[in-house]
Chains A and B, each alone.
Chain A
């Protein structure tokens, strides 16, 4: 087992721009949020074609029952997360995905009556196709933030395999401690999920990458791995904390010193990166037969009692805030996701969707945007070695084609350029706008 801390092999955000960690909830055990009276379940919680309702208004549903799906393999189904009655199918503005979409509303009957769960004792008894089918049916998306369908990531071309598997335990966003707690409290499940992924893609090398600010998680998972059948095959690599190391492109660079090709995927260099919470969800789906209806989320910042909560997907944000003791008086902004990449929400009824790792309440002062003074901070800070100031300038003046020429596709929207900009230019927002416009032009 390696014990030397791996330093990221990229320039990244320099020390003098250090982003404070604020990991205040790292020692708080995960608590289960009481079941909500009503959940709102959006039909499109992943990247890919949307799902459509497979139930009608007025139907009674059980916890874990599939309520949305489509014929497309690339689609991820959604499930009822409480038992009760479907009262409405509404359209709402999803600020996290920045689009209008449909959602199913379920009123609870208070019983939380589950569907029958099909458990499997030994995943080795299943074929790869069966496992991938189970993962799709369970509605699992990548928990690292990209919400990419997990079953697609694990589907390889015929007889294909990937050389390297990296299990991503890096959680570089400030405040967020959800993955940290999952590793500590569901370590067995995470490693069991890792075994299933290993069976599917039969990699030569397996790495578990965890940041050096979570020594307890490193120790805990090391112990579990040593007792499991994976002992000897897995290398646990402690990684120096440096935002945005949790992004797969940068993690690959840090662990393997390889770069994912421009506008390519990790698969192009025979690497698969999976988040620890996704591994846990895969365990739940394959071994316990449970669909993906629960997730761990950190509620942090301006609440009286910051916590890590196990919640049902579709729970309104206000339930989480109430459980954590209500919001402080000076809070004027609520963010779904971490402070660097999350989306501000203005409506406390907004449901928490798959892949949301944090709910942050904070006090934000809006600073006026000034003209660029060409200080070069954003160039120094960009991990993807882009020129963010140039991209922002092009986007500002509507020169979206030029953005493409300036390699805008490489941007991972980590927000660092905006964080360090002395002129308060919302560079990340300009880049997102340009990307959106470019995708419309295609």
Chain B
């Protein structure tokens, strides 16, 4: 705090705070934002526990704890103050929600460690990472451990007899049909899949909660899901099925809207969402993997700075040259 020069003016007693304008601040803080996102993520988390029982609880706890512990250790090594701002919890939680319920716990922990240590902290910590840590963590374990990453079980709650089944996107995916029951299952989450990807309805609820609180911008998910739906129709796919299945909902509402790795500008957000939509459908239809949301968003993350650069708002009073 710089002390002002006193000169010939008399000075009266107590020290007054010298800080720059403005002198009032809104209720917004990083912590508030992060905890509201965690609150929104409780919708799909609750669904995953309902559908996959103990497996879900274990994978989620492992992933979150590993993320927070890694962040704490790295801050210790970097001699920086560890702040429990909730961002590491979000990374761990998001990662867990994209994992299959039967994944060995050490792999889930490894994914979290990679996400925090390499993808986030190595780039400088919160606000500096280029890629979404949770998605990059998932991509890492998907590439390293493809076998356990593609074991899917039918939802059975806390019942012990878990039956292995196919992920909807891998086989059922190719059969196009107007199956109302299938849609309902996808909406409610009564289907096999990753922990948090099952119930589209609850993901939607969490997303809308964040949109109403203005934590996330509606443009990104709308552009993402809209592009998916339109392209599916154009390419002769079942649009409802494409939108409701797989990781699209969680990707569109919780991953593509990540502040740090998405564009800042409003136009940029639309381009980002649409781009991710195109890439997802390309990977789903012609790629080697059943699901493409994760890689589509990661690819768009890399493009975000460029998108920002070309979509800067036109300042007040500036005439087009």
Contact = CB atoms under 8 A, between A and B. Distances in A.
Interface of A: 10, 14, 16-17, 19, 40, 88, 90-93, 95, 100, 105, 174, 249, 253, 259-264, 318, 332-335, 337, 339-350, 360, 362, 364, 366-367, 370-377, 379, 383-387, 389-390, 406-407, 410, 413, 415-416, 418-424, 426, 428-429, 432
Contacts of A420: 26, 28
B22 A424 contact: no
Given A346-B18, A364-B19, A374-B260, A262 B11 contact: no
Interface stretch (B175-183, B237-245, B308-316): B308-316
A366 B17 contact: yes
B24 interface: yes
B126 A371 contact: yes
Given A366-B19, A374-B259, A410 B318 contact: yes
Given A92-B8, A364-B23, A332 B17 contact: yes
A93 B8 CA distance: 10
B217 interface: yes
Interface stretch (B29-37, B48-56, B65-73): B29-37
B290 interface: no
Contacts of A418: 21-22, 25
Contacts of B266: 379
A333 B17 contact: yes
B125 interface: yes
Contacts of A95: 4
Interface of B: 3-12, 15-26, 28-30, 32-33, 124-128, 214, 217, 259-260, 262, 264-266, 312-319
Nearest to A376: B264
A376 B316 contact: no
Contacts, number: 189
B23 A360 contact: yes
Contacts of B12: 318, 347-349
A93 B23 contact: no
A345 B259 CA distance: 36
24 contacts: A95-B4, A174-B24, A333-B17, A344-B16, A346-B3, A347-B9, A347-B12, A347-B16, A364-B23, A366-B19, A370-B30, A373-B260, A376-B265, A377-B28, A379-B266, A385-B316, A410-B315, A418-B25, A419-B22, A419-B24, A422-B28, A422-B29, A424-B25, A428-B22
B189 to A, nearest CB: 30
Given A333-B19, A364-B17, A423-B30, A374 B127 contact: yes
B217 A376 contact: yes
User: What 8 A-B pairs come out closest when comparing CB atoms?
Assistant: A415-B22, A371-B127, A429-B20, A90-B8, A333-B17, A422-B28, A384-B316, A407-B315
Given A346-B17, A347-B11, 18 more contacts: A14-B214, A40-B9, A90-B8, A91-B7, A93-B7, A332-B16, A340-B23, A345-B16, A346-B3, A347-B9, A349-B10, A362-B23, A364-B17, A364-B23, A370-B126, A373-B30, A385-B315, A387-B264
B286 to A, nearest CB: 32
B260 A340 contact: no
B7 A249 contact: no
Interface of B is mostly: loop
B168 to A, nearest CB: 34
A59 to B, nearest CB: 18
Q: Of residues A88, A93, A263, A318, which shows the largest number of chain B Cβ atoms within 10 Å of its Cβ?
A: A93
Contacts of B316: 10, 249, 253, 259-260, 262, 383-386, 410
A331 to B, nearest CB: 8
Contacts of B23: 333, 335, 339-340, 342, 344, 360, 362, 364
A270 to B, nearest CB: 15
B9 A90 contact: yes
Given A174-B24, A376-B265, A421-B28, A344 B19 contact: yes
Contacts of B7: 90-93
Contacts of A345: 4, 16, 18
Contacts of B32: 422
Given A376-B217, A422-B32, A428-B21, A346 B16 contact: yes
A212 B264 CA distance: 33
Nearest to B5: A93
Nearest to B124: A371
A253 B12 CA distance: 45
B264 A379 contact: yes
Contacts of B28: 17, 377, 420-422
B313 A379 contact: yes
Given A40-B9, A344-B16, A423-B30, A410 B317 contact: yes
A413 B17 CA distance: 21
Contacts of B265: 376, 379, 387
B214 A340 contact: no
A17 B213 CA distance: 11
B16 to A, nearest CB: 5
A426 B8 contact: no
Contact of B15 (A346, A375, A386): A346
A428 B20 contact: yes
Nearest to A418: B22
Contacts of B21: 335, 337, 339-344, 413, 415, 418, 428-429
A385 B17 contact: no
A354 B198 CA distance: 65
Nearest to A420: B26
A341 B24 CA distance: 10
B313 A385 contact: yes
Contacts of B315: 262, 384-386, 407, 410
A384 B312 CA distance: 13
A370 B23 CA distance: 17
Nearest to B9: A349
Contact of A249 (B4, B19, B313, B317): B317
B318 to A, nearest CB: 4
Contact of A419 (B26, B312, B318): B26
Contacts of A347: 4, 6, 9, 11-12, 16
Contacts of A429: 20-21
Contacts of A335: 21, 23
Nearest to B313: A385
A389 B259 CA distance: 13
Contacts of A428: 20-22
Given A373-B126, A376-B265, A387-B312, A93 B26 contact: no
Contacts of B262: 374
